Amino acid sequence: MKTEANKLIEDLLQMTESSGNAARKFKQLEIDQLNFKRSNEEWSILECIEHLNLYGDFYLPEIEKRILESNKKEKSLIFRSGILGNYFANLMKVENGKITKMKAPKDKNPANSKLSVTTIDRFLKQQEMLKSLLVQAKNTDLVKTKTAISLTKFIRLRLGDTFRFLIYHTERHIFQAQRVLQ
Amino acid sequence: MSSEQDFTTNLIASLYKIAEEKVIAKGEFLIREGEVERNLYFIETGAVRAFYLSEFDEQTIRLGYAGSFINSLASFIKGTPSEFYIEAIRKTRIKSITRESFLSIVNENEESRQQYIRLLELLVTQLIDREIDLLTFSPVERLNRVLQRSPHLFQQIPLKYIASYLRMKPETLSRIRNS
């Protein structure tokens, strides 16, 4: 994937905004609806959101640290995906209203944890932090700045791909959460 | 009896005349972030915690148990949205009075106003103590300071919330207590 760096940031900001709006709508539901599970194996709305919070717990501090450490003087205007980064990001994408099913890693599985409406509030705070990181990233090189990933210590992704992965992943589970009550 | 105690005694006496009684189930909120605090609560039985929600965790900032007053104070005074949540950590019976009723007790006469000022002064010194707690580097020292003020804390509040109040992991708190 190749695109203008600032265009990518703007697109991601917009997606983050709409994920936040979707989560704010969930706040109007009753707690029983938020905890409703279609089956034991499927997640409730709050479990979907908490899953995203667990990813945020890892990625937001990691991204913030790498942006702060990055060299602000050089910045390429074009963003080009890495092969792996592009693969991971696209794997998360919602395509034509469909998502491929996957199994969450154990440490990111929220099933049966204690969840309440603060789960959504925490998600909204994380989305605000993410937006502020995206804005800061306008002055950061999205290719040369690299971040760790939660899956393995052996790979580092380009910041632009990490943002894409994280934000597509959020969109994916918001999409899943919106279908719980349908 | 000191004058802030007089005031508190008066306040509790008035509470029993005019306050509304409520039972809050475990996990329910007295107030949530963003709402405006219109009440003062007196805890008859049970326990609550006030916490601040960040992007990454819930930081317990105050604990209330039987016999304590609690509310989201800055919001109550200024009428601004609360920055904190107050959650029942057990089934909790409270008496609540509105800000208006509270102020009419304060302004009943000159003596009650003076007593209220003493109470506010006491509150300020307690907040300074709490500030020093948070600046105290040693976890052991942090625990000792709090136990000096509230010796029965562990009988009232589950360990994980005390740990959060003391800004340490539950495992650290267990280890310190057992050593």
Q: Give per-10-residue mean pLDDT for chain B (179 aa).
A: 77 82 95 96 96 95 93 96 97 95 91 89 92 93 93 92 94 92
What pTM was estimated for this model as a whole?
0.88
The C-alpha atoms of residue B158 and residue A136 are separated, in whole angstroms, by 41
Here the tokens at position A97 are 């209203």
Cα dihedral B15→B21→B27→B33 (10° resolution): -60
Name which of A111-115, A132-136, B5-9, B65-69 the model is least confident about.
Answer: A111-115
Q: Which of B53, B55, B85 sits opposite A129 (nearest CB)?
A: B55
In this prediction, residue B1 carries a pLDDT of 60
pLDDT in the model for residue B166: 94
Contact predicate A7/A158, CB 8 Å: no
All residues of chain B having their beta carbon less than 8 Å from the beta carbon of residue A126 are: 55
Q: How many CA atoms lie within 13 A of B174 on its CB side?
A: 6
Compare CB distances from A56 to B32, B33, B55 and report the shortest one's residue.
B55
Task: Give A65's contacts in chain B (Cβ within 8 Å).
Answer: none
Per-residue pLDDT tens digits for A142-173: 999 999 998 888 899 999 999 999 999 999 99
- Chain A contact probe: residue of B24, B32, B54, B55 with most A CBs at under 10 A: B55
Say whether A60 and B55 touch across the interface (CB within 8 A): yes
- Strand ranges of the sheet holding B47-53, from the earlier edge strand across to the other edge: B29-31, B85-88, B47-53, B58-65
Is residue A112 predicted with pLDDT exceeding 80? no
Could you give the ipTM of this predicted complex?
0.83
Mean pLDDT of A97-124: 85
Place of tokens 């509270």: B102
pLDDT of residue A102: 83
